[in-house]
Structure 1
């Protein structure tokens, strides 16, 4: 019994996975950057876990939200630029989701 590896197909899969991973990370990070530029800084309160190493207190959460609101007010962009940055952020998140769905589609249908 002999096992042969199709190295060309392996290279295609490796290249597709690498490009997909880079695209997803790039679109997501660019989307977050545009969201911040639009003045909509995401502040996410931490989940409560029983075995968490550190848990933010209510005071720390309020301080983070206050700093986010203060940073949003300091933005030098006009309202039109903020709106354009927000649309760009949404577009980046949509492209990120499309890349994920495209990868899942390739796995399910291409297999």
Structure 2
């Protein structure tokens, strides 16, 4: 019994995984950046777990929301530029979704 590794196939899978991960991270980060530029700063309240080390209080959550609203008001962009940044953010998130769906399809269908 001989075990042989197809190194060319291994390298092509490695390169595809590396490029796919880089594309997803890049476009997700760019999408978040565009979302902030559009004045829609995502404020996510943490889930409360019984064994959590730190849980934000209502006061801290309200302070974060207040800071996000203040930053949105300080945005120097015009309304058209904000809408364009929002559309760009949605497009970046769509690229991420297509990359993930494509990867899943390649695994399920193309094995």
Normalised to the residue count of structure 2, the TM-score between the two structures is 0.99
C-alpha distance in structure 2 between counterparts of 1:51 and 1:95, whole Å = 36
Q: Which residue number corresponds to residue 40 of structure 1?
A: 40
Task: Render the CA deviation track for 1:7-44: whole Å, top value 9, x for unaligned.
Answer: 00000000000000000000100000000000000000
C-alpha distance in structure 1 between counterparts of 2:15 and 2:84, whole Å = 33
CA positional deviation for 1:50? 1.4
* Runs of 4+ with >6 A deviation: none
C-alpha distance in structure 1 between counterparts of 2:52 and 2:97, whole Å = 29
Q: Secondary structure at the match of 2:109?
A: helix
- Any residues of structure 2 matched to 1:1-111 within 5 Å, and which? 1-111=1-111
C-alpha distance in structure 2 between counterparts of 1:2 and 1:50, whole Å = 53
Q: Secondary structure at the match of 1:97?
A: helix
Number of aligned positions between the proteins: 111
CA positional deviation for 1:71? 0.1
C-alpha distance in structure 2 between counterparts of 1:24 and 1:51, whole Å = 32
CA positional deviation for 1:52? 1.2
Structure 1 residues not aligned, in runs of 5+: none
C-alpha distance in structure 2 between counterparts of 1:68 and 1:91, whole Å = 23
Normalised to the residue count of structure 1, the TM-score between the two structures is 0.99
